[in-house]
Amino acid sequence: MMTHTPTRTLLALAVAVALTGAMVGCNSDDEQTQTTTKDDAYYLSQATGLLAQLSTSEKLDLLSGPNTYYGESPTNLVNDVSGVAGYINGILNDETGVHIPALKLADGPAGLRISSSRDGQSGTFYATAWPIGSLLASSWDTALQEEVGEAFGNEVKEYGVDILLAPGMNIQRNPLNGRNFEYYSEDPVLTGHTAAAMVNGIETNGVGTTIKHFFGNNSETNRSSINDIAEPRTWREIYLRGFQIAVTEAQPWALMTSYNKVNGSYVNERRDAVTSILRDEWGFNGLAMSDWFAGDVSNNAHKQVLSGQDLIEPGGVKAQLAAALEAGTLSQSDVDTAALHILTQVLKSPSYQGYAYSNNPDLNSHAALARRAGDESMVLLQNDNNALPIADSNTVATFGVNQIATYKGGTGSGDVNAAYTVNIADGLAERFTVNADLQSFYASYYEANKVYHTGNFGAAGYYTCDESSLSDELTSLITTAASADDVGVISIGRQAGEGADRSAEAGDYYLSDAELALIDQVSTLFKAQGKPVVVVLNVNGVIDTEQWKDKVDGILLAYMGGQETGRQVADLLSGDVNPSGKLAQTFPKSYDDIPSASTFPGEDTDGDGSPDDIYYNEGIYVGYRYFSSFDKAVSFPFGYGLSYTSFSYAGTAVGSNTLDSDGAKGSVTVTTTITNSGSVAGKEVAQVYVSAPEVKLKKPAIELKAYAKTASLDAGSSEQLSFEIPAYILASFSPDDNEWIIEPGTYQVYVSPSADVASTTPVTFSVAKEIVVSSTTAGALALPDGTSAADFITVSE
């Protein structure tokens, strides 16, 4: 049976702190005027004091948001913000004097998602569309991510929002997940550090963040009932690890549980996940909320509170919770614990503190930062014959409807109402002399052939437009361009988003016949004239490159750079900025090579035509962990990215190793010296992969444990990078012992420019005997009854 003890302890501690606070109030005036440190303990003590003044009904108002979708209004809403996704109810009680304004919660991961206009108010309320998560992660630059977070959070605050419903940080198990664009990577360490940097940056403004979707929400098909089945070790090492890192490094105000089930039950009803792992093991002390209308909320809302989740969104379940209290299926102490978690965060919020927001963030400086963030993140995948950068004097012929219909980001709650999007055609035209006939051909073609797709769940829709088949007009434009212009740039776009997954078909994961024909013809005609062709990928996630990459010289993976996408592409193609992004995902040779290809998006077990269960047959072998362990060649490896200069690595060494002496508190440090061995200034991302000894546990061939990016290095200059691998990051999960352990033996360390470590000589360190880094909750996340890993794990070393 599960125990409620840990959260009771928290409450008892809070009461003690509150009493201490009350006693301070009896001290002399001098002591009272001493500055109070407003840390977690302070807010907890204040919240505890407040909680004691609330009626049960008021507490339940906190636990259940107002379901505005069905006409409820938030209690004590002051200055509404149009377009927010939800609220935490306020309290207005003249008898007790408790006045708490409702809090406003808004999406999303690539920028604040609010309406750009408000009833009865003049002016616009545009927010900056930042590069999507997968692109920002490709910068591998936590300082930059934190800087973006700071500016992003300033918009949250200045537009009157209290808690941002982001960052999204699910693991990109399979490229077809429609929401991958919101997420960072296939790797949990890169995901965790990126999320922590965003949380830290955003929260410096005194607004909250919500890491989401905890956990296993790795596909959209049937997302509100799909059952994701994996071994506890797989959950912990791959899918929970990023959340653990974000909680450890950034302690976000809030966390959102996911829609899906895990090993048979909804995550939001799993006390082992929400209380034992999240709070007791990791020390999360923020508020946990549901995803919108998630789980069995219309029948069993109380089970979401029993799990240790505090807030149900959008809500409308107060009566149900009251009935559960009455029936005894929910206790007063469960309600108090949840209300305390919520109140503690409410007290920090701008609304509670009466912050007078300006509605006037500095959108110009944020646009400049958004441009720089994309510049530092886009990945140069191929540059044969030094086709890039394009010389200033060159004229550029631009192909593809995507140059007009450039996507700034994905769809659904991850969309942003930005003032503008600079498309690729305009971005290139600002920087180069472009072929105007081609650009106007594509603009007219797009206008005449675009197809509108309604957004899911009331979100904004979007357009697609099939590539022109090679009409006579286009063929003649290509022929003219091949002789008149110096370089061909072909843009390929892919849109996707919340509520649907992508397909492994031509036109989605694979290029369409028309796109392949365009690449073929442009390449043939340009190459016949000795002129280079470059493809720009304005995509929401991994697509096929293997089929066509040999036909072109250059490939720039732009992903979706936000509102400045077109300018970022021009910055990189021109060499005004030297590319320094590296892949946060593997680009495989074919979709079928992906270890989860055969199980995505799940199995239909009840014969209704849609999937019910997803078996994570690949276990911990996700992304490069699979390709490196099974020697499978890829199109472009994880961590890969080119520059217009080159770098050499020298003097890689293990600096210190305190694992044997300090155990769980120990760490290993590694250093390497990177030299710019080329002829222009540039930045390099160096990655530390560890190959661990196998005693009790099988391990992937390599795992990312640390990384760093150099400053901009002039040609010929060097920088020494140092990396720290703390014990908890090095550890593996031993399901038999319910422990995170570091196994004894020799560890190989590769400091490498990508996950292709074949040409890197490893250095080593050793661990004398097994180190138990932490003990975990026995039986947590166990496989469903009657299932064992042997039934479904098909991949093992």
- Identify residues 332-371 at the interface with ligand BGC (CB under 6 A): none
Could you tell me the smallest distance in angstroms from the CB atom of residue 240 to ligand BGC? Answer: 18
Could you tell me the smallest distance in angstroms from the CB atom of residue 84 to ligand BGC? Answer: 9
Could you tell me the smallest distance in angstroms from the CB atom of residue 254 to ligand BGC? Answer: 11
Give the nearer residue to ligand BGC in terms of CB position, either 269 or 719: 269
Does position 165 bind ligand BGC by CB under 6 A?
A: yes
Could you tell me the smallest distance in angstroms from the CB atom of residue 311 to ligand BGC? Answer: 13
Distance CA 18, CA 45 (A): 4
Distance CA 669, CA 35 (A): 39
Give the nearer residue to ligand BGC in terms of CB position, either 255 or 729: 255
Distance CA 278, CA 341 (A): 14
CB 345 within 8 A of CB 254: yes
Give the nearer residue to ligand BGC in terms of CB position, either 107 or 486: 107
The upper half-sphere exposure of residue 669, i.e. CA atoms within 13 Å in the direction of its Cβ, equals 7
SS3 call for 249 = helix
Give the nearer residue to ligand BGC in terms of CB position, either 411 or 413: 413
Give the nearer residue to ligand BGC in terms of CB position, either 89 or 423: 89
Active-site annotation, residues: 291
The upper half-sphere exposure of residue 162, i.e. CA atoms within 13 Å in the direction of its Cβ, equals 28
Give the nearer residue to ligand BGC in terms of CB position, either 499 or 693: 499
Q: Which residues contact 444 (CB under 8 A, 6 or more apart)?
A: none
Give the nearer residue to ligand BGC in terms of CB position, either 91 or 211: 211
User: Nearest 5°: phi and psi at 554?
Assistant: -120, 150
- Identify residues 289-328 at the interface with ligand BGC (CB under 6 A): 291-292
**What are the distances in angstroms from CA 394 to CA 251, 343, 577?**
50, 61, 17
Give the nearer residue to ligand BGC in terms of CB position, either 206 or 455: 455
CB 337 within 8 A of CB 79: no
Pick from 85, 156, 189, 190: which binds ligand BGC (CB under 6 A)?
85
- Identify residues 448-467 at the interface with ligand BGC (CB under 6 A): 457
Size of the site for ligand BGC (CB under 6 A): 8
Centre a 10 Å sphere on the Cβ of residue 199 and count the other Cβ atoms it contains: 30
Planar angle of CA 461, 467, 472, nearest 5 degrees = 145
Could you tell me the smallest distance in angstroms from the CB atom of residue 197 to ligand BGC? Answer: 20
Does position 218 bind ligand BGC by CB under 6 A?
A: no
Distance CA 131, CA 583 (A): 15
Whose CA is closest to 195, among 120, 134, 154?
A: 134
CB 708 within 8 A of CB 723: yes
Could you tell me the smallest distance in angstroms from the CB atom of residue 245 to ligand BGC? Answer: 20
Planar angle of CA 351, 355, 360, nearest 5 degrees = 110
Give residue 348's Cα distance to chain centre: 25
Q: What DSSP assignment string belongs to 378-422?
A: -EEEEEGGG--SPPTT-EEEEESGGGTS--SS-BSTT----S---
**Partner residues linked to 747 by β-bridges:** 765
Distance CA 195, CA 273 (A): 20
Distance CA 180, CA 171 (A): 8
Could you tell me the smallest distance in angstroms from the CB atom of residue 183 to ligand BGC? Answer: 11
Q: What DSSP assignment string belongs to 533-583?
A: EEEEEE-SS----TTTGGG-SEEEE----GGGHHHHHHHHHHTSS------
Could you tell me the smallest distance in angstroms from the CB atom of residue 457 to ligand BGC? Answer: 6
**What are the distances in angstroms from CA 150 to CA 158, 409, 536?**
12, 20, 29
Give the nearer residue to ligand BGC in terms of CB position, either 85 or 731: 85
Give the nearer residue to ligand BGC in terms of CB position, either 237 or 291: 291
Give the residue nearest to ligand BGC (CB): 85
Could you tell me the smallest distance in angstroms from the CB atom of residue 212 to ligand BGC? Answer: 6
Could you tell me the smallest distance in angstroms from the CB atom of residue 590 to ligand BGC? Answer: 30
Does position 509 bind ligand BGC by CB under 6 A?
A: no
Pick from 59, 104, 212, 567: which binds ligand BGC (CB under 6 A)?
212
Could you tell me the smallest distance in angstroms from the CB atom of residue 165 to ligand BGC? Answer: 4
Could you tell me the smallest distance in angstroms from the CB atom of residue 258 to ligand BGC? Answer: 8
Give the nearer residue to ligand BGC in terms of CB position, either 107 or 703: 107
Greatest CA separation found in the chain? Answer: 89
Distance CA 527, CA 169 (A): 42
Distance CA 636, CA 296 (A): 42
Q: Directed axis angle between helix 436-449 and helix 472-484, to 10°?
A: 160
Give the nearer residue to ligand BGC in terms of CB position, either 168 or 532: 168
Give the nearer residue to ligand BGC in terms of CB position, either 192 or 497: 497
Give the amino acid at 682: G
Distance CA 195, CA 247 (A): 9
**What are the distances in angstroms from CA 736 to CA 169, 539, 695, 733, 779?**
28, 42, 13, 9, 10
Pick from 107, 415, 426, 684: which binds ligand BGC (CB under 6 A)?
107
Does position 44 bind ligand BGC by CB under 6 A?
A: no
Q: Binding pattern to ligand BGC, positions 171-210, x when CB under 6 A?
A: ----------------------------------------
CA dihedral 182, 187, 191, 194 (to 10 degrees): -110
Q: In what order do the strands lie in the sheet with 739-742?
A: 732-734, 739-742, 771-775
Does position 413 bind ligand BGC by CB under 6 A?
A: yes
Could you tell me the smallest distance in angstroms from the CB atom of residue 256 to ligand BGC? Answer: 6
**Partner residues linked to 210 by β-bridges:** 254
Q: Which residues contact 593 (CB under 8 A, 6 or more apart)?
A: 627, 632, 634
Positions that interact with ligand BGC (CB under 6 A)? 85, 107, 165, 212, 291-292, 413, 457
